[in-house]
Amino acid sequence: MITTQISIVLLTSEVWEVLFTGKPPWSEYERAQAIFKVMQSSPPIPKTLSAEGKDFLQCCF
């Protein structure tokens, strides 16, 4: 079952890919490793983002 929290993380991952980096968060990991990372931590936020962009990602991840 997909929960609201999972939906927010998935949406944030799409925003991350499309607007910020051009690739999904944790793209350097294999699928199973990436899923574990999603459950355990947030990806490193790009230093080049605005304060608002950083705040958005920190709230959603």
Element at 54 (helix H, strand E): helix 51-60
- Domain enclosing residue 25, as ranges: 4-60
Q: Which two tokens stand for residue 24?
A: 């999904």
What's the chain's Rg over C-alpha atoms? 11
Residues 6+ positions from 54 with CB-CB distance below 8 Å: 45
Going by the DSSP 8-state scheme, the letter that residue 42 receives in this structure is: P
Q: What angle do CA 8, 60, 20 make, to 5 degrees?
A: 100
How many domains are there within the chain?
Answer: 1
Q: What is the pLDDT of residues 1-59, one digit of tens each?
A: 567 777 887 788 788 777 777 887 788 888 888 878 877 888 888 888 889 988 888 88
